Structure 1
């Protein structure tokens, strides 16, 4: 079975769950069916959206800083 890792950037998979596996609890011990669980992390699309929002915010902060500097310069 193929394992999906939260840091895997191989695609924008809509399958956001780790398939439950059946394995021994300890070597030679009883088997247990581990539950399916949701993966944490971001998809490529979500990472791009965060990057775009951060850059947009930084550009806005830069413009604001320049505007404040210009206003301050005019006062002195």
Structure 2
């Protein structure tokens, strides 16, 4: 299990998130959309890297990371 924080850069709201082994980044994005409701889509950024939706969470996010949630600039 990976435990991390999602930080919505538009509102500065935070949400703790627990992801199980094998969960995809896309599932995290869907949960963020459900909570914060962004119709134009979201991207997740950890440090300088944008996270690909089809990658496993445990391959790209570490415990206690702060993952930024940003509006998708290509979907308007």
- Same fold flag (TM > 0.5): no
Kindly indicate which of the two structures has a greater share of residues assigned to helix: 1
TM range (shorter): under 0.3
Kindly indicate which of the two structures has a greater share of residues assigned to strand: 2
Query: TM-score, with normalisation over the residues of structure 2?
Result: 0.23
- Which is bigger in relative contact order (C-alpha 8 A, separation at least 6)? 2
Rg: which structure is higher?
1
